[in-house]
Amino acid sequence: MNPKLLFAVLLVIFPLAIPPALNAKSEDSGHSKAIEFTCAAWEKLPYPELYYLHGKQYLQLELSAGQRSKVYPLKGVEALELFIRKVSAAGSGISDAAPEYERVAMAPLLKGVKRMLFLIEASKDSKGMPLQLLGMDDTLETFPAGSFRFINQTPHLLRIEFAGVTRDLPQGALKVVTPDLPEAGGFLPAIIQNEDGRKILENRFFAQRTGRELIIISPPAAGRTELVMKFLSDTIPASPTTPRKPSHRK
């Protein structure tokens, strides 16, 4: 066979012989594909401005205490990194230099999750950075409209009696509960017990089919004995989908 013709035939055949895993690796640059995220902080943070790295751009976050931020895009990274803008030294005479940024928090992205929620706290993380980031799956498949997500930040196991069922909530655990709701919604009683069954907190939560409620249970404040509960609400636009059956997820 003509050597040039043989070479052309090999060029056609060879790519078909590449193992699928190798093909996948060559297409994956090692960075995440585009996702979206929101942030929330319950207290005023020590920095008036926070930025995050989106590709190669530093974009500013807009935060209001106790509320979800707007939805932000994120791509080309494997973690959410938060930065503050460095202040130029007085009298340096450099006014048009490119701004410099200092990283103050970082949390990895969850593989395959297209939307995340990050909670920001003004306390040092395990790596000594001044802010802590807690990231979680915020997709509607995991945290659907009409549901409640409980997070236990106490050092003890808790028992949550809610929506007619009692569930164990170990230290650091997250659990999603989707109660069976009437069209107009309503108030649902919630009782929190310790692992011995002693009632330590009681409340009522307003539930509606278009809302999601994140409830974080924290240890008592200094000098107090009662647990602290923090709430973060989210409203999901109504859609003509088939009503869900009651369920619970981790």
Give the contacts of 217 (CB within 8 A, at least 6 positions apart). 150, 151, 152, 153, 154, 158, 169, 192, 201, 227, 228, 229
Q: Note whether 175 and 120 are same-domain residues.
A: no
Provide the mean pLDDT of the chain. 82
Flag whether 246 is in a domain: yes
Residue 130 above 90 pLDDT?
yes
Which is nearest to 72 in space by CA: 83, 64, 61? 61
Q: With 0.85 as the threshold, say if the pTM is over it.
A: no
- Provide the domain count of the chain: 2
Would you put residue 112 in left (φ > 0), alpha (ψ -120 to 50) or beta?
A: left
Residue 24 above 70 pLDDT?
no
Q: Note whether 189 and 228 are same-domain residues.
A: yes
Flag whether 7 is in a domain: no
% residues pLDDT > 70 (the chain): 78
Which is nearest to 151 in space by CA: 74, 242, 216, 195? 216
Flag whether 14 is in a domain: no
pLDDT of amino acid 183 = 86
pLDDT of amino acid 217 = 94
pLDDT of amino acid 10 = 35
Q: Note whether 190 and 241 are same-domain residues.
A: yes
CATH of the domain at 247: 2.60.40
Give the contacts of 127 (CB within 8 A, at least 6 positions apart). 106
**C-alpha distances in Å from residue 80, one per residue of 49, 121, 232:** 16, 14, 20
At 47-64, the pLDDT tens digits run 999 999 998 899 999 999
3-class DSSP assignment, residue 76: coil
Instruction: Name the band, by pLDDT with cuts 50, 70 and 90, for residue 88.
Output: low
Give the contacts of 182 (CB within 8 A, at least 6 positions apart). none
Q: Are 105 and 133 in contact (CB under 8 A)?
A: yes
3-class DSSP assignment, residue 28: coil
Q: Note whether 128 and 183 are same-domain residues.
A: no
At 29-48, the pLDDT tens digits run 345 578 999 999 998 899 99
Flag whether 22 is in a domain: no
Radius of gyration of the chain from its Cα atoms, rounded to whole angstroms: 24
Q: Note whether 195 and 160 are same-domain residues.
A: yes
Hey, which residues does 85 pair with through a beta bridge?
A: 101
% residues pLDDT > 90 (the chain): 60
Among 139, 169, 203, the domain-final residue is 139
Q: Note whether 148 and 246 are same-domain residues.
A: yes
C-alpha neighbours within 13 Å on the C-beta side of residue 196: 2
Q: What share of the chain is helix, strand, coil (3-state, %, to 5)?
A: 10, 40, 50
State the residue range of the domain holding 114: 35-87+97-139
Flag whether 19 is in a domain: no
Give the whole-angstrom CA distance, residue 185 versus residue 118: 28
13-17, 88-92, 171-175, 226-230 — which is least confidently predicted?
13-17
